[in-house]
Amino acid sequence: MTFDIGEVLSRAWQITWKHKVLWIIGILFGFFVSIMFPLIFSPILFPVLMQNSKIDLRAVLVLIVVYALLFLLFTIVLYPMSVLAQTSVTLGVLNANEDGENISVIDLLKRSFPFFWRVLGLMLLFAFGMTLINLVIQAFLFLLTILTLGLAVLCMMPLTLLMYPLLFGSIVWMEQATNGIIVDNMTIADATRQGWSLIRNNLLPVTLIALVIYLGIGFVTGALMMPMMIPIFIVPFSFMEHQPNWPIFSISILWTIALMPLFAFVSGFSMIFTKSAWVLTYLRFTRSPKLQPLPGIVEAT
């Protein structure tokens, strides 16, 4: 079976650009995910604060506890929010592909509820599996490091690069399994088996489209998000002296807040395009060999 990557990507771009209702879901979810940046980089402040003699150590310990609770709460809420966003976008892409009519955000959210627990279970299953595999590999490397007095770290470093194909492969597998649940109303087990079967039977086209999507989007988003990293790395310098440098700290915080809309737009747009491409890929593998153009869009002859 032939697979036209250009056709799928072109159609994914048409859907992403034309159906602005999907932008609302993607951008709102992007705003929520943007909270992750201060949460991830906040721990780098704790050692600096502890070394500052004018700051009470007990206050720093309280901040650490509060941070841990906030991070735990964010992680707990992140999965349900991600399920609703991704399921709604998938349903929106299906609607655009079949009918070409706009549908409201509320209707998409309502339609996503029947799939919520299965998609959430699938995400947790893959997250647990990847965490378990990573722990096994890290434990193996740690054991070899002890037995070889550190020499194994140098020898095994190239092998750790194999984690990246494993990571992206699991993401693609989860995408296709998620499509099986939403598009064909499958159970978690059936969707997981079918997702693996689709990848195994179409390894070359899946690999090519994954490289185009993840490398292309990763390069673009990385270049656009680079300015957002600057204030995050500047913040620790505002606490290096005995007296906190509040102007530097304030500028860094304001710069991060100002760039959050950019991150929300770029990440939301990227999620919609990625979802569109994988949904269309799933339909291409399981249904009609030819994708029909969207209404109002004329294909070049």
Structure tokens of 209?
A: 């489209």
Q: Where are the alpha helices (DSSP H) in the chain?
A: 5-18, 21-34, 36-41, 45-51, 57-98, 105-112, 116-147, 151-160, 163-184, 188-201, 203-210, 216-234, 246-286
- Whether residue 151 lies inside any domain: the answer is no
- Whether residue 266 lies inside any domain: the answer is yes
Domain count, the chain: 1
Domain span at residue 38 reads 5-123+164-286
- H or E, element range at 162: none
Q: How far apart are CA 17 and CA 139, in angstroms?
A: 46
Inform me whether the pLDDT recorded for 277 exceeds 90: yes
- Whether residue 131 lies inside any domain: the answer is no
pLDDT per residue as tens digits for the range 22-53: 999 999 998 888 877 777 766 666 666 666 55
Average pLDDT over the chain, rounded to an integer: 81
- Whether residue 217 lies inside any domain: the answer is yes
Structure tokens of 80?
A: 């349900």
pLDDT per residue as tens digits for the range 214-245: 888 888 777 777 776 776 667 666 666 656 66
Q: Which residues contact 183 (CB under 8 A, 6 or more apart)?
A: 90, 94, 279, 282, 283, 286
Q: What is the DSSP letter of 238?
A: G
Q: How far apart are CA 29 and CA 269, in angstroms?
A: 10
- Whether residue 213 lies inside any domain: the answer is yes
Query: Higher-confidence residue: 1 or 197?
Result: 197
- Whether residue 30 lies inside any domain: the answer is yes
Query: Higher-confidence residue: 293 or 133?
Result: 133
- Whether residue 295 lies inside any domain: the answer is no
Average pLDDT of 272-286? 93
User: pTM for this structure?
Assistant: 0.81
- Whether residue 222 lies inside any domain: the answer is yes
